Chain A
Amino acid sequence: MAENKTSLGKELTKGIVKENPTLVMLLGMCPTLAVTTQAKNGIGMGLATTFVLLGSNIVVSLLRKVIPDKVRIPAFIVIIASFVTLIGFLLEGFLPDLYDSLGIYLTLITVNCIIFGRAEMFASKNGIVASACDAIGMGIGFTLALFLMGSVREMIGAGQWLGMSIPVLHSNPMLLFIMPAGGFFTLGMIIAAVNKLSNKKPPQELGCKGCPNADSCSKNGGECK
């Protein structure tokens, strides 16, 4: 029992630092770059993704013995898209401001590789409790990464942070940082910093492990291995 508990704890915490989906495994780049012009949007996107991740991981784990292997990709996609529709309704009803600022990227949670990757790699092989812990851990890791990105970009690019103004930067904001180019730059810098701090060899390639098509494309001799 004690061993069981530690392993659940491990599932929960691995996503936050060791296997952080965005900064270490390099999954889900599109929302990471697109919505992080403000720290607030980063948190909102992170939590919305966590909700979808939790829901889809639980349902996939519940149905893992029912879904035939051959149609698992469409089945997972339908499950994920349903939760995305659900969170869309919830946000539109209760947090219309956030709904407007996330815009199309809320719909695009459907094709976020993190969610698909976790369904494929973890939830379809593990029990419900472990899958839920995995989803929460990964979700928190994703949210923290987005919050970090959003904070850096908002502080330097707009001179404020969560509504507070930053003394020197407020009068001289570097607009470039809230523009698309700044997103690429900030993410590159943060990943480099993570590599430096963790003393790890920097990743040469994007994380194809989470890509739902990794199997089929490595079979075809594609770029993903």
Chain B
Amino acid sequence: MKSMFVILLSAMLTDNFVLSKFMGICPFLGVSKKLDSASGMGLAVTFVMICATLVTYPIHHGILVPNDLEYFDTVVFILVIALFVQLVETMLKKCVPSLYKSLGVYLPLITTNCAVLGVTVLNIDNAYSFGDSIINALGGGLGFMLALVIFSGVRRKLEYADIPETFKGVPATLIAASIVSVSFMGFSGLFN
């Protein structure tokens, strides 16, 4: 139980996917302009991360390992994630239209989000158990959402700031991200 808590918090804070592992930078910089789209994207990523873990973990340990095919991980995982995102999108559209309205826009963006492939590969590399993997995916997704939501606040301030012409746009955003990342460094001593 204690170790699960540590995995959850470290995936969220100390090893934050965006700010310390640099996974999912594109949506982090692209979708963080408004608070509602940031939280929507965060929720969608968390959901897909957990589902992708639920699917890829049994495939790795049930099919690939017994047949000595671990080296197919990358190909199989990315295909499974791509198919799965399509499936979720279709299902949401059909069964839960209200949820589709709020999350549907972000789903196609997730297929090639490195954080999703990253979390499934990390679960295997770190030799997590099934339960730990799901906790890791949950923590990773929540951490992603946290970074996005915090950053959307920073960007709102940035829009009214008086920035030198050369730095306007992406350079200023990156430097702001660097400062947010410094603040997350404060968590680094949390676990030993």
A-side interface residues toward B, CB under 8 Å? 26, 29-30, 33-34, 73-74, 77-78, 81-82, 84-85, 88-89, 104, 107-108, 110-113, 116, 176, 179-185, 187-189, 191-192, 195-196, 202-206, 208, 211-213, 216-217, 220-224
Given contacts A104-B122, A108-B118, A206-B170, contact A223 B37 (CB under 8 A): yes
Q: How far is the CA of A112 from the CA of B23 in the complex (A)?
A: 11
Pairwise interchain contact B30-A224, C-beta atoms closer than 8 A:
yes
Given contacts A180-B20, A183-B22, A206-B170, contact A29 B29 (CB under 8 A): yes
Tell me the nearest residue of chain B to A224, going by C-beta: B30
**Which one of A34, A116, A189 contacts B21 once the chains associate, using CB atoms below 8 Å?**
A34
Question: Does B65 reach chain A (CB closer than 8 Å)?
Answer: no
The 9 A-B residue pairs whose C-beta atoms are closest, nearest first, are: A188-B174, A184-B178, A192-B171, A181-B181, A185-B178, A34-B22, A29-B25, A204-B169, A81-B75
Known: A185-B175, A191-B174. A110 touches B78 (CB 8 A): yes
Chain A residues touching B, majority SS: helix
Name the A residues within 8 Å of B174 (CB-CB). 184-185, 187-188, 191
Question: B-side interface residues toward A, CB under 8 Å?
Answer: 19-26, 29-31, 33, 37, 71-75, 78-79, 82-83, 104-106, 108-109, 111-114, 117-118, 121-122, 125, 165-175, 177-179, 181-182, 185
Q: Which of B37, B73, B170 has the most CB of A within 10 A?
A: B170
Are the CB atoms of B109 and A224 closer together than 8 Å? yes
* B contact residues around A216 at 8 Å (CB): 108
For residue A24, give the distance in angstroms from its CB to the closest CB of chain B.
11
How many angstroms from the CA of A73 to the CA of B25 in the assembled complex? 21
| A-side contacts of B179, CB under 8 Å | 181
B25 and A33: CB pair below 8 A?
yes
Residue of A nearest to B85 (CB): A213
**Is B30 a contact partner of A205 (Cβ separation < 8 A)?**
yes
Choice from B37, B82, B166, B182 contacting A74 with Cβ under 8 Å: B82
Alpha-carbon distance between A185 and B182 when the two chains are bound, in angstroms: 10
Contact status A202-B166, CB under 8 Å? yes
A30→B22 contact, CB < 8 A:
yes
Can you list 8 A-B pairs, Cβ within 8 angstroms, ordered by A? Answer: A85-B74, A112-B114, A192-B167, A202-B167, A220-B108, A222-B109, A223-B33, A223-B37
Asked if B112 and A104 sit within 8 Å, CB to CB, the answer is no
> B82, A73: Cβ atoms under 8 Å?
yes
Min Cβ gap B135→A in Å is: 19
In this complex, the member of A30, A84, A110 whose beta carbon has the largest number of chain B beta carbons within 10 angstroms is A30
Once bound together, how far apart are the Cα atoms of A97 and B21, in whole Å? 20
